[in-house]
Amino acid sequence: MPMLNRRALLKTGAAGIAASTLASPLIAQNRSIRIGSYGGYFEDSFKTHVYPEFTKATGIEVESITQPNSSDWLVTLQQAVAAGNIPTDISLFARDTMIKASRIGDLIAPLDMAKITGAGNLDSYFVFEGNDGPQGVGAMSWFSAMVFNPNEVETPASWADFWDSSLFEASLGLGRNYNAGLLDFTAATFFDGAETMMSNDGIVAIIEKVAELKPNVALWWTAESQMEQSMKNGDVVAGQYYLDVANLMALDGFPIKPTFPKEGNLQDYGSWCLTAGSDKGDEAAEFMNFSSEPSTQALMSRKIGTAPLVDKAMTDLTDDEFNFVSGAPAIKPAYEAYLDNETFIKESWDKMLAEV
């Protein structure tokens, strides 16, 4: 028995050595990167449709990291980096969170744009210049759109319709957080848009206008799922919701329909950012290149429902496919005001909600 054991040991040992010598060139090529995206359907679609294509094109393996969303991930990232960890190589951040991350410092690393030539396909607005140079490359965009229940109400033509209590008394589902979009919709509908948000008086005027809407709101939602349930359950008959998810729900037969009112819907976008201290800068550059290609942008539009950041003409998206994920006009969030005046806006907004 001992002989057999020794022999078995020798055998496996030899096999092991053989395997390791054989495998060593493979290991050298076995590059990998960790990429964060918002958990759930969104991340799953990335794992099934986008990452495999990237691996096929570059040989770089992707480990998917779940982010709860953009803003809460910033807290996690901040704590992890403070503790000396790098929870992911690439994070997906919305613009406001990315600017915050850049201002906090030592969270997201500057990018070597010479290696990310593909970013030239995007509008320069989507390459974010932080304090230390370029710190984010646009990934995809999404709309927060007007939605309604076609069985209960006619298609609203304007956001102003929501103020009409004869149509929407105690029937709307709108975002609870001050930066969820209602301020931008109201500013675009009744004021001069983002410009009005630049002064305290302007903000107060917009918030007073929003206050008139309160009797018509049945749900002030914070989590996406609240709005989804309430539309399905008939607790609300209209409101604001993500364009792509609304379209998917409609495909599943639920009574929800997104629409572009004449003032437009809110368009925000996500960026890929490299975590400071990550040694995967080269792999990250390759991924950002890949993501900026028109074919990848089209792939994401088809499989995930995000709007492309490149011109529609550069992609092979059909009109129907494009209208499913995008539309016009687009309202840009008043990022500057939200960032530079956030404490004032938040308190004024909360005060408005707290008034009976």
Partner 1 sequence: MSLTDDMHAQGRSAAAAPDGSAMLRRVGLFVLSAIIFIFCVLPFGLVLAISFGRKIDGAGWVWDFTLENYQRFFVGVLWPDEVTFLYLQQLGYSFYFAIIASLVAVLTALPFTLLLTRLGRSAQALWLVFIMASLSLSEVFIVMGWDILLSNNSGLPKLFKETGLTQWLKDTGYFQTLRDWGLANPRNVKFKTSDFATILTMSYLVWPYAVILLYPALSRIDPALAEAARTMGAGRWTVTRTVTLPAIRLPLFGTTLLLFVFLLGTYVTVTVFAAPNKHTTAVAIYTNIRGANLNAPFGAAQAVMLLVAAGVCLYLGHLFNRRSEAR
Residues lying near partner 1 in the complex (CB under 8 A) = 69-75, 78, 97, 99-100, 103-104, 152, 169-171, 176-177, 179, 218-220, 222, 226, 229, 232-235, 339-344, 346-347, 350-351, 353-356
Coil, helix or strand for 303? helix
Please check whether residue 224 is in contact with residue 242, taking contact to mean a CB–CB distance below 8 angstroms.
yes
Count of C-beta atoms within a 10 Å radius of residue 266? 23
Count of C-beta atoms within a 10 Å radius of residue 239? 28
In this structure, what DSSP letter does residue 318 have? -
The H or E element containing residue 34 is strand 32-38
Angle at Cα 171 formed by Cα 169 and Cα 176, nearest 5°?
115
Please check whether residue 326 is in contact with residue 143, taking contact to mean a CB–CB distance below 8 angstroms.
yes
Question: Shortest distance, CB of residue 234 to partner 1, whole angstroms?
Answer: 4
Taking the least distance from each CB to partner 1, the nearer of 122 and 337 is 337
* Nearest partner of 153 among 166, 142, 144, judged by Cα: 166
Question: Shortest distance, CB of residue 351 to partner 1, whole angstroms?
Answer: 5
Question: Shortest distance, CB of residue 313 to partner 1, whole angstroms?
Answer: 36
Give the C-alpha separation, 206 to 190, whole Å.
8
Taking the least distance from each CB to partner 1, the nearer of 195 and 340 is 340
The phi-psi region of residue 85 (left if phi > 0; otherwise alpha if psi is between -120 and 50; otherwise beta) is: beta
Question: Shortest distance, CB of residue 170 to partner 1, whole angstroms?
Answer: 4
Taking the least distance from each CB to partner 1, the nearer of 241 and 290 is 241
**For the chain, what is the total number of helices (H) and then of strands (E)?**
15, 11
Question: Shortest distance, CB of residue 297 to partner 1, whole angstroms?
Answer: 27
Tokens of 286: 């390759």
* Nearest partner of 241 among 321, 323, 174, judged by Cα: 174
Taking the least distance from each CB to partner 1, the nearer of 205 and 353 is 353
Taking the least distance from each CB to partner 1, the nearer of 220 and 324 is 220
Question: Shortest distance, CB of residue 243 to partner 1, whole angstroms?
Answer: 21
Taking the least distance from each CB to partner 1, the nearer of 23 and 82 is 82
Taking the least distance from each CB to partner 1, the nearer of 69 and 259 is 69
Question: Shortest distance, CB of residue 100 to partner 1, whole angstroms?
Answer: 6
Question: Shortest distance, CB of residue 42 to partner 1, whole angstroms?
Answer: 17
Taking the least distance from each CB to partner 1, the nearer of 106 and 311 is 106
> E-strand spans in 154-264?
172-175, 217-221, 238-242, 257-259
Please check whether residue 128 is in contact with residue 242, taking contact to mean a CB–CB distance below 8 angstroms.
no
Question: Shortest distance, CB of residue 26 to partner 1, whole angstroms?
Answer: 40
The H or E element containing residue 94 is strand 90-94
Taking the least distance from each CB to partner 1, the nearer of 241 and 338 is 338
Coil, helix or strand for 223? coil
